[in-house]
């Protein structure tokens, strides 16, 4: 288990300050106090009462902030002033070590400065400004970080039944997560907007080497705060909001900026699952190549680990969650400072189902070779380092692993690998046209321009009567090599080119452009002079009517990006 870095100075070893003329406290007596510091004492500026009631064993960041503020409020010139300032600095440092954000510390210190300035102006007979706004209370949050398919949904759902604040807006369950995903909807939408702004997605391994961070940081932080307010609309200083979205693992620099400017108390659970099991799940569910699934596991895990070293944190493996879920809940509650509660056996049985661990590592493992084998070895090394009891000694190894991953991603870019973003729309049998709600996005890595992408099609009432495919998000020449429809069992239902044709029979690409800027050329090529090159797939209606749950549409193609000017010239000549 990795915890936040140990402090070089322990504030519980510093002599607590007293007001001038007050008798000194005994460390032993002060540490033995159990009466919590009251809000009333602080609100009524009774600084000595705040100091007297403070508990050195407290794990409440807000208490340490109030203690540090009180020390500064009673500060007077004299030989003890330096020591008292040091004690206040230690108190603020301890508040940060147990989760207070830099923004929370800055806000507390700013309030002291303003109060002292106001007092000085009154003594000098200078009219003082109106009373400053009271500092915003600490917003307590628990970040549940982890790669997709790592048990974060089950853990988040269980914790929300055991005292943690659930997001108001979240999605229900499906075949992949029967008990729901527990992702705050507006925060997830904000994360997706960042990824889409970088022409990326959660499944894009190249994100760490892309310029994804927004140009206007303050606007982005305002948007993030607005998303927070929508998902957690009634902040309670005693509640601990649970934020879980795997995308957050790779977007933590923005969250760190938020915590540096706003009053938060943050704790982190880093949820990890054996990389072979995660990769097998992604290969099965999302049809991702093995090397890409392993790169995603490594980048999500390593970025989340490195970005949260300074925060109170525990590492929880999926296997530990399955083996003893009650103990896992207790560890999370203790980390966040919530009362310890024990979930019932019935509740545990609902949320934690070992039978859902379909892709646990088998003795044979995945069939990894070449680059995939190297990535799997690194992933297993990282996993072992994280779950080791003495994992804090493994940070040099984890840093080396991140360097290796960065080098591999950079090499992919230099070798000409391109990210291509596609989106499949379907019009349900009931009609209504195409919409974003009835669509899937896929980001693929085109090696030397060529790639394969798989979409999972809906069934039942959502079964498509018509399919539209947006082939890129930039002007391009796309050469379609194959289109296939397969059942959930992998049986071929329909394909283009057809398997058997007459020797002189031309197989016309079964697509048509949806706008004047998209042209289907002779043979299998689609030319687009727009960033929205949509084509409608002319798949026979009787074929689409055969589709059942988890049927798949598979596309193989070559992508050649074009400048807008060249694309327009080619479009005019093609017409």
Residue 186: C-alpha distances to residues 179, 201, 249 (Å): 20, 16, 17
> Which of the two residues, 279 and 530, has the higher pLDDT score?
279
Note the pLDDT of residue 379: 95
Least confident of 3-12, 98-107, 324-333, 539-548: 3-12
Looking at the predicted structure, is the pLDDT value of residue 5 above 50? no
Question: Would you put residue 337 in left (φ > 0), alpha (ψ -120 to 50) or beta?
Answer: left
Residue-wise pLDDT for 491-536, tens only, equals 899 998 876 544 444 567 888 888 888 888 766 778 777 666 688 8
> Which of the two residues, 107 and 425, has the higher pLDDT score?
425
Residue 390: C-alpha distances to residues 138, 229, 332, 438 (Å): 32, 38, 19, 47
Least confident of 116-125, 156-165, 328-337, 343-352: 116-125
Q: In the structure, what pLDDT confidence band is assigned to residue 28 with cuts at 50, 70 and 90?
A: very low
Looking at the predicted structure, is the pLDDT value of residue 228 above 50? yes
Q: Stretch 347-368: mean pLDDT, rounded?
A: 64
Note the pLDDT of residue 80: 77
Q: Which long-range contacts (CB under 8 A, 24 or more apart) does 306-311 make?
A: 306/398, 306/399, 306/402, 307/252, 307/253, 307/256, 308/143, 308/145, 308/252, 308/268, 308/270, 309/2, 309/4, 309/5, 309/395, 310/4, 310/5, 310/96, 311/4, 311/99, 311/266, 311/267, 311/268
Q: What percent of the chain has pLDDT over 70?
A: 83
> Which of the two residues, 20 and 368, has the higher pLDDT score?
368
Q: Stretch 66-71: mean pLDDT, rounded?
A: 85
Average pLDDT along the chain: 81
Q: In the structure, what pLDDT confidence band is assigned to residue 356 with cuts at 50, 70 and 90?
A: low
Least confident of 13-22, 38-47, 242-251, 550-559: 13-22
Q: In the structure, what pLDDT confidence band is assigned to residue 16 with cuts at 50, 70 and 90?
A: very low
Q: Stretch 348-362: mean pLDDT, rounded?
A: 65
Residue-wise pLDDT for 197-215, tens only, equals 887 888 888 888 778 888 8
Least confident of 255-259, 316-320, 517-521: 517-521
Q: Stretch 176-192: mean pLDDT, rounded?
A: 88
Domain boundaries, the chain: 11-123, 139-414, 418-574
Note the pLDDT of residue 224: 95
CATH of the domain spanning 139-414: 3.40.50
Residue-wise pLDDT for 128-144, tens only, equals 666 556 666 789 999 99
Residue-wise pLDDT for 396-428, tens only, equals 899 999 999 999 888 877 766 677 888 899 988
Query: Cβ(537)–Cβ(468) under 8 Å?
Result: yes
| Bridge partners (DSSP) listed for residue 265 | 100, 140
């Amino acid at each position: 288990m990795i915890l936040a870095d140990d402090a070089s100075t322990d504030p519980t070893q510093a002599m607590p300050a007293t007001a001038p003329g007050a008798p000194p406290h005994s460390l032993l007596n002060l540490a033995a106090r159990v009466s919590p510091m009251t809000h009333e004492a602080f609100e009524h500026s009774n600084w000595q009462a705040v100091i007297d009631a403070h508990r050195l064993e407290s794990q409440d960041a807000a208490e340490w902030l109030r203690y540090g503020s009180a020390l500064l409020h009673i500060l007077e010139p004299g030989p003890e002033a330096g020591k008292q300032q040091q004690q206040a600095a230690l108190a603020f440092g301890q508040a940060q070590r147990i989760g207070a954000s830099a923004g929370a510390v800055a806000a507390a210190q700013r309030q002291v400065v303003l109060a002292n300035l106001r007092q000085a102006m009154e003594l000098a007979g200078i009219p003082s400004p109106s009373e400053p706004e009271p500092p915003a209370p600490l917003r307590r949050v628990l970040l549940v970080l982890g790669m997709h398919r790592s048990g974060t949904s089950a853990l988040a759902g269980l914790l929300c039944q055991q005292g943690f604040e659930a997001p108001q807006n979240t999605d229900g369950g499906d075949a992949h997560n029967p008990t729901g995903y527990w992702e705050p909807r507006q925060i997830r939408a904000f994360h997706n907007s960042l990824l889409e702004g970088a022409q990326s997605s959660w499944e894009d391994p190249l994100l760490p080497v892309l310029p994804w961070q927004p140009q206007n940081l303050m606007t982005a932080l305002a948007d993030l705060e607005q998303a927070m307010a929508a998902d957690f609309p009634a902040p309670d200083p005693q509640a601990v909001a649970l934020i879980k979205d795997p995308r957050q693992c790779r977007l933590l620099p923005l969250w760190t900026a938020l915590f540096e400017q706003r009053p938060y108390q943050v704790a982190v659970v880093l949820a990890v699952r054996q990389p072979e099991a995660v990769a097998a799940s992604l290969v099965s569910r999302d049809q991702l190549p093995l090397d890409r699934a392993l790169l995603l596991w490594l980048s999500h895990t390593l970025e989340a680990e490195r970005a949260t070293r300074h925060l109170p944190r525990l590492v929880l493996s999926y296997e530990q969650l399955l083996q003893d879920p009650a103990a896992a809940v207790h560890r999370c509650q203790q980390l966040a400072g919530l009362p310890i509660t024990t979930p019932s056996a019935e509740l545990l049985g609902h949320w934690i189902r070992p039978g859902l661990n379909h892709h646990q590592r088998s003795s044979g493992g995945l069939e990894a070779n070449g680059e995939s084998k190297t990535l799997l070895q690194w992933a297993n090394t990282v996993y072992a380092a994280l779950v080791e009891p003495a994992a804090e000694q493994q940070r040099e190894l984890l840093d080396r692993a991140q360097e290796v991953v960065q080098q591999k991603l950079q090499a992919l870019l230099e070798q000409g690998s391109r990210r291509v973003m596609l989106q499949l729309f379907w019009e349900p049998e009931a009609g209504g046209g195409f919409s974003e709600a009835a669509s899937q996005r896929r980001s693929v890595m085109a090696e030397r321009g060529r790639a394969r992408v798989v979409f999972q099609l809906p069934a039942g009432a959502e079964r498509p009567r018509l399919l539209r495919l947006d082939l890129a998000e930039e002007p391009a020449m796309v050469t379609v090599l194959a289109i296939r429809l397969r059942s959930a069992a992998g049986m071929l239902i329909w394909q283009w080119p057809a398997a058997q044709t007459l020797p002189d029979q031309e197989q016309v690409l079964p697509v048509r452009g949806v706008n004047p800027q998209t042209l289907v050329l002779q043979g299998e090529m689609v030319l687009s002079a727009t960033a929205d090159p949509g084509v409608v797939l002319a798949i026979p209606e009787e074929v689409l009517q055969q589709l059942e749950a988890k049927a798949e549409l598979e596309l193989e193609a070559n992508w050649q990006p074009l400048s807008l000017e060249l694309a327009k010239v080619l479009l005019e000549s093609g017409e």
